[in-house]
Amino acid sequence: MIIAVKAENKQFFLQEAEKRGELANEDLKQKLEAEAARKGIEALWQGSKLEVESVLKSVCDRILGDKSLDSLEKKRRADGLKIIGEIYRSAKLSHEA
pLDDT of residue 69: 93
What whole-number distance in Å separates Cα of residue 36 and Cα of residue 15?
A: 11
The pLDDT of residue 61 is: 93
Highest mean pLDDT among 20-29, 32-41, 52-61: 52-61
What are the distances in angstroms from CA 33 to CA 11, 30, 40, 42? 8, 5, 10, 14
Chain mean pLDDT for the chain: 81
